[in-house]
Each structure stands twice: as C-alpha cells, then as structure tokens.
Copies of this chain bind each other. A is one copy, B any other.
Amino acid sequence: MNQEHVFDKATALTPSENGKAWSGHIPASHENMVGPFGGAIAATLLNAVLQHPYRQGEPISLTVNFAAPIKDAPFEVTAQAVRNNKSTQHWTITMYQQEEVAVTGTALLAHRRETWSDTEAAPPEAPSPEQVPLLSTDNLPRWTHNYALRMLRGLVVAGSPEQTDSRSLLWVRDEPLRPLDWLSLTAICDTFFPRLFVRRQRIFPIGTVSMTTYFLTDGEALDRQGTGYLLAAAQANRFYNNYFDQSGTIWGRDGELLATTHQIVYFRD
C-alpha cells in the first residue's frame, strides 16, 4: 500500500466531534519561521470547501486572511455555502484555534462553460527545469523540503548586496512527486521567497496577511500537468511602511497560465 503523501497529511481534515466543522493539525513537515507554511494553510481552507458534501463546481477564486499565527496544535475549520446560484457557489471559511478566529477566507466555485478564450499574458522566458540547478533546502525552513525548487531569479544569498528589483522566477513541483490538483496549486502559489528578502538579500520578520488566488483553468488542465514542474513568477509593486504587495503567475510546463496569485505582507525592518 502506498504511504500517504506528506502534502495530503498536511492538509487533511477530519469531521470534528460535533459534525459541524473539520479538524486538522498541520504537522512539523510544513513548519515555517512562525507557524506553518501559509500555502498549506490556504490549501487546508480550500480543502474544507472541496470535500464538503454541498460542494458544486471547481475553484474560481480563493482569498485567505491570516489573522493570527497558527500554533502547533489542532484547529477547527468551518465552511459555509452562503449563496448557491445556477452555476456558482460562494463560500465563507473560518479556521479557529483555541476558540479564537485564526484565519478567514472566501471562495467561489463554479461550473465552467466553453466560451471564446485567450491568454494575454506571455509566459516568462526560461530554460527547461532540467537545465536549472536544484536548490538545496537543507538550511531553509522545513516546508521547503516538500518542494523541488529550481531558481532562475529570487535567491536570497547571505552577504549579497541589495537588488534593484524583487522579481522571482522558478520551476517548482511537489517533492516527492504528486499529481497537481487544486490544493497543491493553491500551496504552490505561496512558495515564493518573500519579496523583501529577495530585494534586500536579508531576512526580516514578515507575515502574509491576505492572499488571493484566481484559478484560470479547469481540472482537466491540472490533470494534464501531472507531476511536472510549474513555472512561477512574482514581483512586488510597492513596499510602504511595513506592508508590501506581491503579484504572481503560475504556468504549466506546456505554457498554460494556471493561476494568478496576489498577496499583501506585513514586515518589520
């Protein structure tokens, strides 16, 4: 029998005792500097929607607000379908820890229909992943050990001078191999090293406070990606008085734009 994948363990939810919520506990495998990797938290919130018996359709958007650090302890997640329309379903999601709100979220699911389609954004130019060295994550936070990261831009190297921009570009996939799905795509949207670290080539106390992802594809396209590398690009628009923003794009190896992802991050310096 196959062992359960570390990402599935990290994002697992079981019905809670009262049957009105889900229980989970992100394990040490996904530790970050303060609490667990935000991408795993976001995926866990989406999981509460996707495995809900009322769920209809595929994810279109997900917003996750990190209201407090998640402690190394169990949490509860509630997901409520607040509005069902003919083809869309709006959800609100809350993660509680020790009876306090720790994370809030909203998600939109929909049944897509075939229409005129076009991708305006151009995929970033990049050599194939096999031509890019694999990053050693030995000295990085535990969560990075669950990803194969091949960095084209956006390394943070102790002693490097400040950079003129904070752009990141990397090939990324789950480690060990795991076929892409909505949950792993959600988490991959948060695998960029923080803009501030990249720009200033130093580590600062930071924390994402809100993250929004738009899913610009469907489940069949995710299946086509399989266990392949995704190309991920991100940049900041502005750092201003202890917050900065980040916008990113996640591309399939076949050049398909899978998601755009945005976040705003608290920092101290």
Residues of A within 8 A of B (CB): 60-61, 63, 65, 67-68, 82-83, 85, 88, 90, 92, 94, 100-102, 104-106, 108, 110, 112-121, 165-166, 199-200, 209-210, 212, 214, 216-218, 235-243, 245, 247, 249, 257, 260, 262, 264, 266-269
State whether B101 touches A241 (Cβ < 8 A). no
CA distance A217 to B239 in the complex (A): 9
CA distance A88 to B68 in the complex (A): 10
Q: How far is the CB of A221 from chain B (nearest CB, A)?
A: 9
Interchain residue pairs A-B with the least CB separation, the first 5: A67-B83, A112-B241, A121-B237, A67-B90, A82-B101
Q: How far is the CB of A83 from chain B (nearest CB, A)?
A: 4
CA distance A199 to B119 in the complex (A): 12
Given contacts A82-B101, A92-B92, A262-B260, contact A240 B267 (CB under 8 A): no
Across the interface, which residues of B come within 8 angstroms of A82, CB to CB? 67, 94, 101, 104
Across the interface, which residues of B come within 8 angstroms of A238, CB to CB? 117-121, 216, 257, 260
State whether A262 touches B214 (Cβ < 8 A). yes
> Is chain A's interface secondary structure helix, strand, loop, or mixed overall?
strand
CA distance A101 to B105 in the complex (A): 16
Number of copies: 2
CA distance A100 to B90 in the complex (A): 12
Q: How far is the CB of A130 from chain B (nearest CB, A)?
A: 27
Across the interface, which residues of B come within 8 angstroms of A218, CB to CB? 240-241
Q: Within the complex, which residue of B116, B200, B240, B264 is in contact with A217, where a contact is CB–CB below 8 Å?
A: B240
Please give me the residue from chain B that is nearest to A261 by CB atom.
Answer: B262
Across the interface, which residues of B come within 8 angstroms of A92, CB to CB? 92, 104
State whether A243 touches B110 (Cβ < 8 A). yes
Please give me the residue from chain B that is nearest to A244 by CB atom.
Answer: B216
Given contacts A68-B85, A262-B214, contact A249 B269 (CB under 8 A): no
Q: How far is the CB of A111 from chain B (nearest CB, A)?
A: 9
CA distance A75 to B236 in the complex (A): 37
| 12 additional A-B residue pairs with CB within 8 Å, beyond A115-B269, A117-B241 | A63-B63, A63-B65, A63-B106, A63-B212, A67-B82, A67-B88, A108-B210, A113-B242, A118-B238, A210-B214, A216-B240, A216-B243
